[in-house]
Amino acid sequence: MIKSALQIAREKYIPKVPAALKGSVKIVEGEKTQSVADQAEIEKMFPHTYGLPVLSFETSDEKKDYPAIKVGVILSGGQAPGGHNVISGLFDGIKRLNSNSQLYGFLGGPSGLTDNVYKELTSDIIDCYRNTGGFDIIGSGRTKLEEEWQFEKALENCKKLGIKALVIIGGDDSNTNAAVLAEYFMAKGAGIQVVGVPKTIDGDLKTEMIETSFGFDTACKVYSELIGNIQRDANSAKKYYHFIKLMGRSASHIALECALQTQPNVTIISEEVAAKNMTLDDVVNQIVDVVVKRAEKGENFGTVLIPEGLVEFIPAMKTLIGELNDLLAKFESEVNNLESNKERREFVAGKLSKESAEVFTQLPNSFANQLLLDRDPHGNVQVSMIETEKLLIDMVKAKVKALKKEGKFKGKFKAQAHFFGYEGRCAAPSNFDADYTYSLGNAAAILIAEGKTGYMASVRNLTAPADEWLAGGVPITSMMNLERRHGVMKPVIQKALVNLDGAPFKKFAENRDDWALNTQYIYPGPIQYFGPSEVCDLPTKTLALER
Amino acid sequence: MIKSALQIAREKYIPKVPAALKGSVKIVEGEKTQSVADQAEIEKMFPHTYGLPVLSFETSDEKKDYPAIKVGVILSGGQAPGGHNVISGLFDGIKRLNSNSQLYGFLGGPSGLTDNVYKELTSDIIDCYRNTGGFDIIGSGRTKLEEEWQFEKALENCKKLGIKALVIIGGDDSNTNAAVLAEYFMAKGAGIQVVGVPKTIDGDLKTEMIETSFGFDTACKVYSELIGNIQRDANSAKKYYHFIKLMGRSASHIALECALQTQPNVTIISEEVAAKNMTLDDVVNQIVDVVVKRAEKGENFGTVLIPEGLVEFIPAMKTLIGELNDLLAKFESEVNNLESNKERREFVAGKLSKESAEVFTQLPNSFANQLLLDRDPHGNVQVSMIETEKLLIDMVKAKVKALKKEGKFKGKFKAQAHFFGYEGRCAAPSNFDADYTYSLGNAAAILIAEGKTGYMASVRNLTAPADEWLAGGVPITSMMNLERRHGVMKPVIQKALVNLDGAPFKKFAENRDDWALNTQYIYPGPIQYFGPSEVCDLPTKTLALER
């Protein structure tokens, strides 16, 4: 690997950790836990790992001896800044407890475990990846560990290697699966522990004990850097509206955090759209309203933030997409045999419910075509391929044109579309994420050494200086409820959507009218690693407001 | 303005300047200059400002008295990081020579001068913008000062305000116009000086005396941060090819510099495409070749950098676009009256030359439609709207699919498209750009105080520490040649395209095969302002290799 100047300088950074992780650790058991809902059912599904207590780590005078162990680690799902530091924190953590302990990385995600593809992570390797972004140290993958044959394979491969514990670094799904695997190993008496680490830039893996998932901080700061730069451009050229879609399909935490950091003119929050039962047209009108009012002040420029998952939160669109999925599966060959897009649209419109047909026929043609053409191998509409930012631009353009004809709009509307996602997922972690992930890795090492399983590593009190952070473990089952997935009720970690009664949304809602009309942009600039603490070490606004 | 933490910390930064700009300055005249070509014609066009000597500033012991003056400043064209520091350097520069001097900013670009819209820039205002990105202090605009009535208006407005000198901060066109204006004022005996400052992120305003235009450093570093992050993602997920288009229509300096900073798998350099007379198909094949070879090594991911102006450098495409412009103007109503895109394409194909018709009919339909639909108010194809990155993805996809059928490709090809431009134009200037622009502003102040006109401020020896930089002025006419513009021969500053015999391109060309096949990504990370000098103060690779 050829290292950049920053990478070389950054290798020397020593992550800050909670005081309790610096010396010997004593484990303090809290109250026994319950799952957030469906307690009886979930207890039945997790007879061995349900109801465990929350664990807190405290400084201890007693020096304990731990045996040498072999630990396996897996990166699961989408990249998030700090993954490498979880692994280096875990490595340093197990080595500190016994220098003969070994760490194995399963390659390419959970499939590495079932396929038995791995490498030992030695200090040479680890040192190359300290404080860097990416998951390239062992790669990641999206295979889900859900089936019994996978659990059996995992068991077989762990036994072969002599692995005593697995650390699974992942989002809500991966941690759910970690809990199921922990239970499975317990039931089998396999003697293999499973510990989870909360990862996702989306910020939707969050509870009282898991204040934030790692990567959210860095990713939002990268996106906010770019949004700020674009806003400065908008405010200099005074020529364009910039529609910026932000990654994160299932929740709008990223859009909300970026809005708090940069104060754009419009930010759509999917959860609010769903709660207010808004139509696509309502969303467009909300933007048009701002465009018209700004034009009256002579300002024909601005920024609009759009969460990636918006379309699926618009109730009427969700229904339409569901109907389209059924229809396109049923009439696949008929639709494909039609000559033109126009014929396809008309064919489909004739078969949709009255409500959905109305929604569908009012969509711009190019977008309606997209819904019919871009389908996944199962024939489903690929929602992630929908260019919502361009759709909204087209629809705003059409409305504004109509208003102009009526004499109700005298300004100009020109727009540029952007989508930010890949730009932030593998950024080098901010000091916050570097510290947080390293501490999580350390905490996972202690949970393992203490024989715990079915736990997620937890580091809390994150708005205080790192020294005062509280480390410990939370039983994964305590975050679960039952949800219908593919027709079957399954135990899953409840996704944390944006809470419309929470402080971050309220702060946004109180200020958005001001931000909409009076250009109040903030330009955060790029993540800094070496400067004053108030520049380099601040957590997200979401975290600051929630705590 | 609500300032971010970084902005507040950054306000305190004192830009580094050449030693000669720290105390009293002595002006040393060099040899008299000639224009780079067409000397006789250009001398005739600039009788009063042709053949001036190059000026160098040296430290002097003599303290001179300068009268208080009023200076006007204009930001012209696209934003570039550091514009605010040119203005603060100019402000501090004229105040240092006489504290009663005043600076006026004309608002919204050159039209501010002809429309007489301005504001006085006082220290309160200046202090808010030190070391920040953007042109929002006075705004910018794209009006060109070319016509006599504009010169007359400028003269009238300057006289009204008592302005003794104008500083025009702009690219090649704006500096050409500055030279014409300087000549006009001289011819009229108006006693108003005009000084230019070399700005453009594109890097194509460059001579022996103007080593780089400001903004290029910062913009390339922002793009390289993003490319590096995306490459780390590509190398972690091992799933996608990322096609990244980079701003800069008329030259590929940005793409080349970003390639040197990040070492992507493929970088297209427009100047090479033109020199080798490549077709669009050749470009696609070049990418496909890399995709196929990487797949043979099991690597189905990568990055491809594409300069924004590529399409216009492909000779056959340039011809096609020229023909389309004529055709669409001539047959506008016929084309618009046709029902479907298919009919439009067929109508146009029937009227193109044989060669262009062949090129046109081989384009993917969606792209061909784009060429017919997205036209500017004059009926011309809007080349900047062409989504070259998506066009190339579609064409590579089609080729790879065909190869798969023939059994010549066993890998996968999935791609994501990105376009970076607005993300970098208004970024806060790097230390380099902050220092360079502040020094340019200082230099402009001295040129003005010394009564010079028709000069561009120049700061050279930029790969040395700032203390050793050489400041001075270069006669704008010395950079000129004659070029045909809209059918008329005009004096213009020669655009500096990527030199295929220059060190930066050679370095790239020597390494590109290695970068293509052996993943050799570099991850530069975000611009740092406070860290070690080797992280914070490096100039671009282009500059380092050229000097």
In this predicted complex, what is the ipTM? Answer: 0.96
3-state secondary structure of B539: coil
Q: Is A431 on the interface with B (CB under 8 A)?
A: no
CB-CB under 8 Å, B238 with A525: no
CB < 8 Å to A9, chain B: 531-532, 534-535
B80: closest chain A residue by CA: A233
Residues 6+ apart with CB under 8 A from A226: A244, A418, A420, A423, B226, B423
Whole-angstrom distance, CA of residue B411 vs CA of residue B393: 16
Q: Which parts of B39-99 fold into alpha helices (H)?
A: 39-45, 83-97
| Strand ordering across the sheet containing A455-460 | A24-32, A53-60, A470-475, A455-460, A193-198, A165-170, A70-75, A102-106, A118-120
Q: Is A133 on the interface with B (CB under 8 A)?
A: yes
Q: Is the pLDDT of residue A372 over 90?
A: no
B260: closest chain A residue by CA: A4
Which of B223, B225, B387, B414 is the best substitution to test chain A (most A C-beta atoms within 10 A)?
B225
Distance of residue A333 Cα from the nearest chain B Cα, in angstroms: 22
Domain boundaries of chain A, sorted by first residue: 17-23+32-59+66-215+429-493, 217-311+385-420+501-546
pLDDT digits (tens, 9 = 90+) for A464-482: 999 999 999 999 999 999 9
B281 is catalytic: no
The pLDDT of residue B386: 85
Residue located via tokens 């020229």: B322
CB < 8 Å to B7, chain A: 523, 525
A547 annotated ligand binder: no
A240 annotated ligand binder: yes
A308 annotated ligand binder: yes
Q: What is the average pLDDT score of chain B?
A: 95
pLDDT digits (tens, 9 = 90+) for B187-219: 999 999 999 999 999 999 999 899 999 999 999
The pLDDT of residue A545: 97
Q: How would residue A419 be classed by pLDDT, with cut points 50, 70 and 90?
A: very high
B422: closest chain A residue by CA: A230
Segment among A321-335, B61-75, B373-387 with least mean pLDDT: B373-387
CB-CB under 8 Å, B424 with A422: no
Q: What is the mean pLDDT of residues A524-529?
A: 98
pLDDT digits (tens, 9 = 90+) for B90-104: 999 999 999 999 999
Q: How would residue A378 be classed by pLDDT, with cut points 50, 70 and 90?
A: low
Whole-angstrom distance, CA of residue B293 vs CA of residue A546: 50
B202 annotated ligand binder: yes
Q: What is the average pLDDT score of chain A?
A: 95
The pLDDT of residue A114: 97
CB-CB under 8 Å, A238 with B139: yes
B136: closest chain A residue by CA: A236
Whole-angstrom distance, CA of residue B20 vs CA of residue A255: 49
CATH of region B217-311+385-420+501-546, choose from 3.40.50.460, 3.40.30.10, 3.40.50.620, 1.20.58.220: 3.40.50.460
B424 annotated ligand binder: yes
The pLDDT of residue A366: 82
Whole-angstrom distance, CA of residue A87 vs CA of residue A130: 9
A423 annotated ligand binder: yes
Q: What is the mean pLDDT of residues B532-536?
A: 95
Distance of residue A370 Cα from the nearest chain B Cα, in angstroms: 12
Q: Is B522 on the interface with A (CB under 8 A)?
A: yes
3-state secondary structure of A484: strand
A424 annotated ligand binder: yes
The pLDDT of residue B88: 98
Domains B17-23+32-59+66-215+429-493 and B217-311+385-420+501-546 share a fold: yes
Interface A-B, measured as beta-carbon pairs within 8 A, has a size of 182
Q: Is the pLDDT of residue A380 over 80?
A: no
- Report DSSP state, residue A179: H
| DSSP state letters, B119-185 | EE--HHHHHHHTT--SSTTT--B-----SHHHHHHHHHHHHHHT--EEEEEE-HHHHHHHHHHHHHH
pLDDT digits (tens, 9 = 90+) for A186-244: 999 999 999 999 999 999 999 989 999 999 999 999 999 999 999 999 999 999 999 99
Whole-angstrom distance, CA of residue B51 vs CA of residue A487: 83
pLDDT digits (tens, 9 = 90+) for B295-348: 999 999 999 999 999 999 999 999 999 999 888 888 888 888 888 888 999 999
- Which of A:200-239 have CB within 8 Å of B? 222, 225-226, 228-230, 232-233, 235-238
CB-CB under 8 Å, B524 with A4: yes
Whole-angstrom distance, CA of residue A308 vs CA of residue A391: 12
Quote the pTM value.
0.97
Q: What is the mean pLDDT of residues A245-255?
A: 94
CB < 8 Å to A263, chain B: 2
Any idea which residues of A carry the catalytic annotation? 202
Residue located via tokens 């975050």: A479
CB < 8 Å to B428, chain A: 523, 525-526
CB < 8 Å to B130, chain A: none
- The CA angle A133-A138-A144, to the nearest 5 degrees, is 105
The pLDDT of residue A386: 85
Q: Is the pLDDT of residue A335 over 90?
A: no
A17-23+32-59+66-215+429-493 adopts what CATH topology? Rossmann fold (3.40.50)
CB < 8 Å to B10, chain A: 525
Element (H, E) at B279: none
pLDDT digits (tens, 9 = 90+) for B466-525: 999 999 999 999 999 999 887 889 999 999 999 999 999 999 999 999 999 999 999 999
pLDDT digits (tens, 9 = 90+) for B364-411: 888 898 888 767 766 677 777 789 999 999 999 999 999 999 999 999
The pLDDT of residue B248: 86
pLDDT digits (tens, 9 = 90+) for B20-32: 999 899 999 999 9
The pLDDT of residue B413: 98
Q: What is the mean pLDDT of residues A137-164?
A: 96
Q: How would residue A308 be classed by pLDDT, with cut points 50, 70 and 90?
A: very high
Question: Residue B529: which of A5, A134, A531 has the nearest Cβ?
Answer: A531
The pLDDT of residue B378: 67
CB < 8 Å to A520, chain B: 2
Q: What percent of chain A has pLDDT over 90?
A: 88
Nearest alpha-carbon partner for B140 in B426, B457, B436, B455: B426
Tell me whether strands B415-420 and B480-485 are parallel, antiparallel or unpaired. Answer: unpaired
CB-CB under 8 Å, A232 with B136: yes
The pLDDT of residue A265: 98
CB-CB under 8 Å, B422 with A236: no
A235: closest chain B residue by CA: B136
CB-CB under 8 Å, B5 with A538: yes
B393 in Cβ contact with B498 (< 8 Å): no
CB < 8 Å to B78, chain A: 237
pLDDT digits (tens, 9 = 90+) for A76-95: 999 999 999 999 999 999 99
Q: Is A364 on the interface with B (CB under 8 A)?
A: no
A128 in Cβ contact with A35 (< 8 Å): no
A164 in Cβ contact with A193 (< 8 Å): yes
